[in-house]
Structures are given as structure tokens and as C-alpha cells.
């Protein structure tokens, strides 16, 4: 029941808002759908906590500790983003950047996007996973090009083509996976993850290694791993800010989740650390390249887009290392990154609206004009840079210390990259927050509640992880291995 609601509500919302999305109260409707989805997700989570992993709908749906917390996270960030987008989109509307029909498209696609992600997370079928990922691309393409400006169209086009091609590789990987599994499992259940997981030791290693490469390149494109990342900064910078927030906060996570599911299978079949090595390689490359990209950015959203690449690289590296601590840390990092990064985008969105520009050099002295936005951005930035007592620090702490023993060769690279990233991001954000103000007042009150909700949670996760959440992480880490 809860599950049906979790998937059904956003789908229904998408359809309903396709009709009503241009209404004056559409934003509230949007939030309401998101809220109920969140409640359903919480109920689902509670049920999983109580009863353990569940298989539903002829084993097509599988909810286990690994994905249920991502479901909850997705629903939560979806809800807070809807809260944020209410005033944000209104201001955009008032500024004349968006028409009512576009708002309708936005609201509808927002809900559908949530749906596709929830589907991708909960499905047990690797094929459906692929379908859902592709659908997520399609819905967000329309969101990225929402402003219909030249830049946004270009960004959306690149996003569409690159992710489309990427996801096609993933499909090929899925086919290879099926090819390998079919001989062991037969035709019907060959793509069901639970079954695959059970027999992963018997899968043909040669095929599986090929399949993993295709899957990694495919889903890795959506994760934004270097050198498959090129769509990411464009899409983040040119789309409306709520979309940037969910792209960074949710989509990347879901894509990484897909990679991790594949890695579990590959690990089982290959009896070697090949998958881990590949992921570590991609992870490190992403961290290094992204951090060097940071220092030349002029657009604040682009900056944080690159920062997302960097963090996804860190998580990928962590999962690549494997082991209970690193996987735990990877999951934690996914959580805190998506909370922090979406909070940053919320703050950045309002900051950009206040200053009428996304260019870093035109945003100055936020703390003077609007202390909440300023402090939100400052604290969010510090959090994302791995400053304690925020949660990002906790996960980076575990990842780096584990790496020091498990993969010491990688640590100098991480050290340099994190330093460069810190220098770049902080050097750009500090004068935005401090300094002489350039901001002006907005027609609607900015929604800073989501920012501080997120940051509060991140702060909490840095100092105290609730026992049941920790237990989830632990179980999920065990699943990942």
C-alpha cells in the first residue's frame, strides 16, 4: 500500500499537474503531492525497518536497506525542493522569465521526474531500472530547457545526446548481463536483481566484465564521472535552480545507485577487484579534474555543478574501495552530499535572483543584504567543503582514513584535489557572502526553511547519526560489500 502510494502519487501528480500546473495554486498542489509522497516514503521506510526487505509485484519491485533510505532521501529532497521552488518559480514568473504554460510543464515534469527516480530506485528489474533512468533523462531534459534561451537549449541538447548515448551503453551492458544470466536463470527472471544476486558467483566472468564496462560507462555518464561528465555543468548552470538542486541532489545519486547495484553483481562474478579498481580510477579522475575545473568558473551554479562531480567522484572512489567502513562512508556521503548540495542550490538560487545574475563577480555582500541567504550559502559551502561538524566531514573522514590504509597511493591525489577544491570554492564564495553588497529586494519572501532544514540535518549527521539510520547504512554497506 505504502509502496503504491510512493510510486503512484508522483505519477498521479505528474498527470494532474499537466492539467492544472498553470493555476495560481499549482505550486501548493505540487508541494502537497511531494509532501504525501514523502509521508508514504516514510511509511514505507518504517515498514521495511520493521519487516525487512520486501519483494512486491511478482518480484518486480524490491525494497531493501540499500534503496529504501535513498527512497526516503529522494522523497525528502523532492519535498523540500517543491517548497523552495514555490517562491522561486513565482519570482521567475514575476520577472517574466517563465510563462504560465512553462510553469505547468515544470510542475508536471517535476512530479514525473520524482516518479522515475523512485521507480529506478525500487525496481528489481535491471531492465526497468534502465527504462526509468532513461525516462529520468527525458523528463529533466525538458526541465533544463525550460527557459528556452539559447544557452538552456544548448545545455539541454548536450544533456540529451550525451546522456542518451551514455544510457544506450548501459542498455548494451544490460543486454550482456541478460545474456550471461539467461543461461543460469532462464528467461523469465534473468534480469531480476534478487535472482542475479543469488547466483552472481555462477555468472560468466568474461561477459560480466564486458557488461560492467558498458554499464559503468553508461550509468557513469549520468553520475557525471570524468570524462563522461561534460553535460553536467551545462545542465546545472542553465536549468532553473530547483532542477539543478534535484539533478545534483537526486539524479546523480540514483545513477550511482545503479552503478553500485551492477558492481555488486560484477564483484560476485569476477572474483577479482576489477570493478572496484575501475570505480576507484573513475572516482579519482573525477575528483582531480573537477577540482581543477573549479578554479576557473565564473558562474556560481556551474561552480557547484563541478563540485557535484567532485563529490560523486569521492563516493565512487569509496564504493570502489569497498569494505564495511568505506561503503558505509560512501552511503553517508551520498546522503549528506545530496542534502547539502541541494541546500546550496536553494541559497544560490535566491542569491542569483537577488543580484539578477548568476555570475560570481556580480553577487557580493549577501550577508549584509539578507543574512539568511548569506549564512545559508556560507554554511552550506563550508559543509560541502568538508568542514566539521557537518556530515560531509564525517564521510570524508572515513573515506580518507580508510584510503590511507587500503589505497595509500591515492591519498596524495585526494589531498591535493581537496585542497584545490577548497581554495577554488571558498575563494569564490567568501566575497559573495561577505564584502560590499550588490543585492536587492525580491518580490516574494525567499524560502530559506528548506536550506536550514537540510543544513540542520547535515549538521546532525556530522555529530550524531540516529541508531536506526546507522543500522541501515551498515546493512546496506554489507550488501555492497
Partner 1 sequence: MPGAQGLLSIDWMVLVIAAWLAIGIGAIFAPRNFPYISRVLYPAGALVGLLLAVAAFAALNQTPETMVLPLGLPDLPFHLRLDSLSALFLMLLGACTAGISIFAAGYLRKAEGTAPGVQCLQYHVFLASMALVLLADDAYAFMVAWESMALSSFFLVTSDHRIPEIRRAGYLYLLIAHVGAISLLLCFGVLQGNGDAGVAGYTFANMRGIDHNAFWSSAAFGLALFGFGAKAGLLPLHVWLPEAHPAAPSPVSAMMSGVMLKTAIYGVLRVGFDLLHHPLWWWGVAVLTLGLVTALFGVIFAAVQSDMKRLLAYSSIENIGLLFVGIGLTLTFQSFGMRALAALALTSVLYHCLNHAAFKSLLFLVTGSVLHATQTRNLGKLGGLIHYMPWVAWLGLLGVLSSAGLPPFNGFVSEWLLLQAFLFTPGLPHGYINMMIPVAAAAVALTAALAGYVMVKFFAVIFLGQPREAKLNQAHDAGRLERSGLVWLAALCVALGLFPVFVIEKLDSVTRLLLGTGIYQAAGEAARAHGWMYLAPISPDRASYAPVVFLLSILVIVAAAYLIVRRFWHIRVRITGAWDCGFPMQTARMQDTAEGFGQPLRQVFEPFYRMTRELPSSFDKAPVYRVVVEDHLWYWLYLPVAKVTEFGARMVAFLQQGRISIYLLYSFVTLVVLLFLIHG
Partner 2 sequence: MSTGLHLDLPFYAQVINLLAAMLLLLSFAMLAQRRILSLINLFMAQGVVLFASTAVVAAATNQHHLYWSALITLVLKVFLLPWILHRLIRRLNVKWDIETLINIPTTMMIGLVLVIFSFNLALPISALAGTITRSTLGIAMAAVMLAFLMMITRSKAVPQVIGFLAMENGLFFAATSATYGMPMVVELGIALDVLVGMVILGVFFFQIREQFDSLDIRHMEKLKDD
* Binding span for partner 2 by CB under 8 A among 47-55, 292-300, 335-343, 432-440: 292-300
Q: Which of 3, 62, 106, 160 binds partner 2 (CB under 8 A)?
A: 160
CA distance 32 to 306: 32
Residue 191 binds: one of partner 1, partner 2, none (C-beta under 5 to 8 A by kind): partner 2
Q: Rounded to 5 degrees, what angle do the CA atoms 340, 220, 251 make? A: 40
Which x/- pattern over 176-195 shows residues binding partner 2 (rule: CB under 8 A)?
x-xx--xx---xx-xx----
Q: 3-class DSSP state for residue 83?
A: helix
Is the link from the previous residue into 185 a cis peptide, with omega within 30 of 0?
A: no
Which x/- pattern over 110-149 shows residues binding partner 2 (rule: CB under 8 A)?
---------------x-xx-xx--xx--x--xx--x--xx
Phi–psi pair at 299, nearest 5 degrees: -105, 130
Min separation Cβ 452 and partner 1, Å = 14
CA distance 384 to 27: 29
Neighbours of 92 (CB within 10 A): 22
CA distance 206 to 114: 36
Min separation Cβ 435 and partner 1, Å = 6
Which x/- pattern over 48-87 shows residues binding partner 2 (rule: CB under 8 A)?
------------x---------------------------
By CB under 8 A, tell whether 415 contacts partner 1: yes
For residues 346 and 450, is the Cβ–Cβ distance under 8 A? yes
By CB under 8 A, tell whether 106 contacts partner 2: no
Residue 190 or 461 with smaller CB distance to partner 2: 190
Cell reading at 72: 526516503
Residue 132 or 399 with smaller CB distance to partner 2: 132
By CB under 8 A, tell whether 52 contacts partner 1: no
By CB under 8 A, tell whether 238 contacts partner 2: yes
By CB under 8 A, tell whether 234 contacts partner 2: yes
What pairs with residue 55 in β-bridges?
A: 62
Residues 6+ apart with CB under 8 A from 194: 55, 59, 62, 124
Q: Which of 23, 57, 157, 179 binds partner 1 (CB under 8 A)?
A: 157
CA distance 75 to 38: 5
Residue 10 or 268 with smaller CB distance to partner 1: 268
Q: Which of 8, 53, 127, 323 binds partner 1 (CB under 8 A)?
A: 323
Task: Please report where in the chains the cell 540535518 appears, as a residue.
Answer: 457
Amino acid at each position: 500500500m505504502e509502496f503504491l502510494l510512493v510510486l503512484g502519487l508522483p505519477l498521479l501528480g505528474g498527470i494532474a499537474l499537466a492539467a492544472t500546473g498553470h493555476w495560481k495554486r499549482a505550486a501548493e498542489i505540487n508541494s502537497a503531492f511531494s509532501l504525501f509522497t514523502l509521508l508514504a516514503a516514510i511509511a514505507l521506510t518504517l515498514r521495511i525497518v520493521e519487516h525487512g526487505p520486501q519483494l512486491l509485484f511478482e518480484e518486480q519491485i524490491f525494497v531493501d536497506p540499500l534503496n529504501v533510505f535513498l527512497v526516503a532521501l529522494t522523497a525528502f529532497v523532492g519535498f523540500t525542493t517543491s517548497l523552495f521552488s514555490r517562491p522561486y518559480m513565482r519570482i521567475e514568473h514575476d520577472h517574466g522569465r517563465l510563462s504560465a504554460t512553462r510553469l505547468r510543464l515544470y510542475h508536471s515534469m517535476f512530479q514525473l521526474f520524482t516518479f522515475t527516480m523512485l521507480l529506478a530506485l525500487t525496481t528489481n528489474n535491471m531492465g526497468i531500472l534502465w527504462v526509468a533512468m532513461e525516462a529520468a533523462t527525458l523528463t529533466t531534459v525538458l526541465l533544463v530547457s525550460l527557459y528556452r534561451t539559447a544557452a538552456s537549449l544548448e545545455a539541454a541538447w548536450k544533456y540529451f545526446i550525451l546522456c542518451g548515448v551514455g544510457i544506450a551503453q548501459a542498455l548494451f551492458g544490460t543486454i550482456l548481463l541478460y545474456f550471461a544470466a539467461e543461461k543460469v536463470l532462464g528467461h523469465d527472471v534473468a534480469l531480476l536483481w534478487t535472482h542475479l544476486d543469488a547466483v552472481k558467483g555462477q555468472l560468466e566472468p568474461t561477459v560480466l566484465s564486458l557488461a560492467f564496462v558498458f554499464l559503468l560507462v553508461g550509468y557513469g555518464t549520468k553520475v557525471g564521472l570524468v570524462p563522461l561528465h561534460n553535460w553536467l555543468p551545462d545542465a546545472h548552470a542553465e536549468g532553473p535552480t530547483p532542477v539543478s538542486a534535484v539533478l545534483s541532489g537526486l539524479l546523480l545519486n540514483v545513477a550511482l545507485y545503479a552503478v553500485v547495484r551492477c558492481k555488486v553483481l560484477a564483484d560476485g562474478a569476477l572474483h577479482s577487484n576489477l570493478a572496484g579498481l575501475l570505480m576507484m580510477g573513475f572516482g579519482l579522475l573525477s575528483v582531480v579534474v573537477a577540482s581543477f575545473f573549479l578554479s576557473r568558473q565564473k558562474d556560481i551554479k556551474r561552480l557547484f555543478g563541478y563540485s557535484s562531480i567532485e563529490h560523486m567522484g569521492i563516493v565512487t572512489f569509496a564504493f570502489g574501495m569497498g569494505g564495511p567502513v568505506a561503503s558505509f562512508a560512501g552511503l553517508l556521503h551520498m546522503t549528506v552530499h545530496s542534502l547539502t548540495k541541494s541546500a546550496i542550490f536553494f541559497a544560490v538560487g535566491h542569491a542569483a535572483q537577488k543580484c539578477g545574475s548568476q555570475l560570481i563577480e556580480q553577487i557580493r555582500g549577501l550577508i549584509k543584504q539578507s543574512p539568511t541567504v548569506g549564512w545559508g550559502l556560507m554554511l552550506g559551502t563550508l559543509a560541502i567543503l568538508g568542514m566539521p561538524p557537518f556530515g560531509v566531514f564525517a564521510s570524508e573522514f572515513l573515506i580518507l582514513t580508510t584510503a590511507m590504509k587500503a589505497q595509500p597511493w591515492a591519498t596524495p591525489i585526494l589531498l591535493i584535489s581537496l585542497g584545490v577544491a577548497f581554495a577554488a570554492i571558498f575563494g569564490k564564495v567568501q566575497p559573495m557572502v561577505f564584502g560590499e553588497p550588490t543585492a536587492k529586494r525580491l518580490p516574494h519572501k525567499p524560502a530559506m526553511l528548506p536550506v536550514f532544514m537540510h543544513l540542520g540535518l547535515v549538521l546532525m549527521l556530522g555529530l550524531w547519526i540516529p541508531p536506526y539510520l546507522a543500522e541501515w547504512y551498515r546493512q546496506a554497506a554489507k550488501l555492497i560489500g
